[in-house]
Amino acid sequence: MRIAVDAMGGDNAPKAIVEGINLAKKDFPEIEFLLFGKEAEIKKYLTDEVNVTIVHTDEKIESDDEPVKSIRKKKQASMVLAAHAVKNGEADAIFSAGNTGALLASGLFIIGRIKQVERPGLMTTMPVFTGEKNAGFDFIDMGANADNKAEHLLTYGILGSFYAKKVRHIDNPRVALLNNGSEETKGSELTKAAFELLSNEPSINFIGNIEARDVFDGGADVVVTDGFTGNAVLKSVEGTAQAIMGVLKSSIKDGGMKSKMGALLLKDSLMGMKDKMDYSSHGGAVLFGVKAPVVKTHGSTGPDAVRNTISQIKTMLEEDLVKDLQTFFEESKA
Amino acid sequence: MRIAVDAMGGDNAPKAIVEGINLAKKDFPEIEFLLFGKEAEIKKYLTDEVNVTIVHTDEKIESDDEPVKSIRKKKQASMVLAAHAVKNGEADAIFSAGNTGALLASGLFIIGRIKQVERPGLMTTMPVFTGEKNAGFDFIDMGANADNKAEHLLTYGILGSFYAKKVRHIDNPRVALLNNGSEETKGSELTKAAFELLSNEPSINFIGNIEARDVFDGGADVVVTDGFTGNAVLKSVEGTAQAIMGVLKSSIKDGGMKSKMGALLLKDSLMGMKDKMDYSSHGGAVLFGVKAPVVKTHGSTGPDAVRNTISQIKTMLEEDLVKDLQTFFEESKA
């Protein structure tokens, strides 16, 4: 099991990435790591070189580089070399905390898509707040595509269901379609057509429509949407959480001594709250529908999240997720 | 100035509605109210009948009634009668806290749309958290339509800009297009086409794309989107806020005595926070593009929100918003 790691991607690279790999090396001695980036900097943080191969390169993709152009121009960038390692069979999966668009482009254009998946989708496991440990739902497409057809949404239902079964070990995962109402008759032209296709797909447990308001209640294991809406929902969730936290902080600040004492007493609870809302325990976002696991974590990721994402990739590889998917699509089209 | 009020719409009707009308009567003695609903129940809460005409009816539309069917079948429902009063010129605007879909249908099919507005949109003023009093942005379409064309989004830009100018008294309001990236080249087929149209519209101050993450930062006065995305964004915001508040509550509860004391000390700040996030001060949601103000508040609305919404309708009527819009469209198409 060999994972190609873009050691230079993310705000705290290579420190946070290499420290995460140190943790993963301890927990998963069966994995070999190929670290792409500046050798001297990587070595500064690496505890030892057991199961590690460093592939030195000075070039890297910046967070504001134009995705498709940059992977074409920066042929020696750490991310691009890591993707080529997967394409050439030197590694089984790629991990990066760098430029999302560039990683999507690397997945699509270097590693390549599974033949029957016309439009790979970006998927992440979002937390739900039902109190159960590790509860969540797989949300796909979070924004790899700006325009999707109903057939793509059917594919996302199949992909998400595979992931929930194989990686999250959920029996018969409940697949729902994000829509503007829960009734069967609701929807845009796109979601109405997708509803029809999902309803008629025998390989998944389609439970109908779900509204964005209700996704956090644990009513579905997989939530399917087009990339434009998925992107808008994800960013609304982020924006709202940020806004509420900002208002909470400023309210405490403006509330004087009494508020500050209150906040101090509440500190443990607020930290517990942060933990409950943290979805890095589920790992990173997966570009799903390409020929190998392509996995992204947040640019501001820390060592623990890197370790969790490596654990997620390990499960995907152990379960042979991509190969099973390919077999499924070949058999269902036959 | 005569406002037709569906006294039976909403969870706490007619009590909350009539008590709100009592407040509005005191603040705005120049308004005449037509209250549609059960006379005996309305009278129970009404302080006096100055400037009030009660139109008795026993029928009402329930919150789970199918919108279009119900306004056709329940011809004597309080909402339907109120809409007909506007159509017949007996009232200048309609207000309801009842079934949103039925109110939209009443607006479209009974009151009717402005000739040049192919698809009226639902608009509300959302709060921003910049600390300025009454800061907010007008969000249109929040979900009156499941499918929109680029031309509709152009119309929403014009409608939102009119509203921000006339009702919120903002000079040269900044109009932005909700998109999956802030760069000019980003977007779906729909938003790319809408970007083009909005850019070329001389009557508005179009400032480009905005992401859902950034709308609460006060970067725009009007945010334009299609009804499907608008609905998803709005429900994501609601769902996230609810989820965070739920987690906060349970974290405090699970945190024992220390947390409870902290929460007690923080109570004032938390209430202040609730005020900052409350957008009922801006009034209700407007079905925009029909021949008279059609305004909706939340079903769980209280008397203060009813009063604020009446104040909003008053401004719309004083400014002759609908007539000015009609003139604008007639002149621009000429």
Q: Which pLDDT belongs to residue B163?
A: 95
Q: Which pLDDT belongs to residue A299?
A: 84
- Name residues of chain B where pLDDT drops below 70: 131, 133-134, 272-280, 333-334
Do B186 and B326 belong together in one domain? no
Do B238 and B148 belong together in one domain? yes
A-interface mutation test, from B247, B253, B258, B298, most A Cβ less than 10 A away: B247
Q: Which pLDDT belongs to residue B134?
A: 66
Q: Is any Cβ of chain A less than 8 angstroms from the Cβ of B232?
A: yes
Q: Diameter of chain A by CA atoms?
A: 71
Instruction: Look up residue A219 and give its two tokens.
Output: 């009513």
Do A214 and A233 belong together in one domain? yes
Mapped onto helix, strand or coil, the DSSP state of residue B144 is coil
Do B131 and B277 belong together in one domain? yes
Do B11 and B56 belong together in one domain? yes
Q: Which pLDDT belongs to residue A280?
A: 67
Q: Is any Cβ of chain A less than 8 angstroms from the Cβ of B274?
A: no
Q: ipTM of this complex > 0.85?
A: yes
What is the pLDDT averaged over residues A37-66?
96
Q: Is any Cβ of chain B less than 8 angstroms from the Cβ of A258?
A: yes
What is the pLDDT averaged over residues A275-285?
73
Q: Among residues A150, A143, A166, A303, which one has the least CA distance to residue A230?
A: A143
Within 8 A by CB and 6+ apart from A236, the residues are: A212, B212, B213, B232, B233, B236, B237, B240
Rounded distance between C-alpha atoms, residue A22 and residue A304, angstroms: 10
Q: Which pLDDT belongs to residue A248?
A: 78
Within 8 A by CB and 6+ apart from B3, the residues are: B31, B32, B33, B34, B91, B92, B93, B94, B95, B310, B313
Do A33 and A57 belong together in one domain? yes
CB atoms within 10 A of CB A13: 23
Contact between A173 and A221 (Cβ < 8 Å): yes
Arithmetic mean of pLDDT over chain A: 92
pLDDT tens-digit profile of B17-66? 999 999 999 999 999 999 999 999 999 999 999 999 999 999 999 999 99
The pLDDT of residue A22 is above 70: yes
- Quick one: CA dihedral A153, A154, A156, A161, positive or negative? positive
Rounded distance between C-alpha atoms, residue B99 and residue A323, angstroms: 50
Q: What is the CATH number of the domain that holds A192?
A: 3.40.718.10
% of chain A with per-residue pLDDT over 90: 76
Do B13 and B86 belong together in one domain? yes
What is the pLDDT averaged over residues A94-116?
96
Chain B residues within an 8 Å CB radius of A276: 247, 251
Specify the DSSP class assigned to residue A106: I
Do B251 and B134 belong together in one domain? yes
Q: Which pLDDT belongs to residue A279?
A: 63
Do B268 and B145 belong together in one domain? yes
Do B199 and B155 belong together in one domain? yes
Q: Which pLDDT belongs to residue B280?
A: 67
With b for 16 or more beta-carbon neighbours within 10 A and e for fewer, the B54-93 pattern comes to bbebebbbeeebbbeebbeebeebbbbbbbbbbbeeebbb
Domain end position, chosen among B261, B282, B303: B282
In B35-64, the residues whose Cβ lies within 8 Å of chain A are: none
> pTM for this one?
0.92
Q: Which of the pair, A332 or B313, is modelled with greater confidence?
A: B313
Contact between B156 and B121 (Cβ < 8 Å): yes
Chain A residues within an 8 Å CB radius of B153: none
Q: Which pLDDT belongs to residue B276?
A: 64
State the nearest Cα–Cα gap between B295 and chain A, in angstroms. Answer: 21
Q: Which pLDDT belongs to residue B133?
A: 66
Rounded distance between C-alpha atoms, residue B258 and residue A269, angstroms: 9
**Across the interface, do B231 and A178 touch by the CB < 8 Å criterion?**
no
The pLDDT of residue A133 is above 70: no
Contact between B321 and B187 (Cβ < 8 Å): no
| Tally of structural domains, chain A | 2
Pairing of strands A136-140, A121-127: antiparallel
The pLDDT of residue A259 is above 80: no
Q: Is any Cβ of chain A less than 8 angstroms from the Cβ of B130?
A: no
Q: Which pLDDT belongs to residue A134?
A: 67
Q: Which pLDDT belongs to residue A274?
A: 67
DSSP A34-49: EEEE-HHHHHHH-S--
pLDDT tens-digit profile of A200-228? 999 999 999 999 989 988 899 999 999 99
Do A182 and A270 belong together in one domain? yes
CB pairs under 8 A between A and B: 179
**Across the interface, do B213 and A242 touch by the CB < 8 Å criterion?**
yes
What is the pLDDT averaged over residues A188-195?
97
Do B138 and B42 belong together in one domain? no
Instruction: Say how far residue B63 (Cα) sits from the centre of its chain.
Output: 17
| Residue A135 domain boundaries | 124-282
pLDDT tens-digit profile of B95-124? 999 999 999 999 999 999 999 999 999 999
Candidate from A90-99, A106-115, B125-134 with smallest mean pLDDT: B125-134
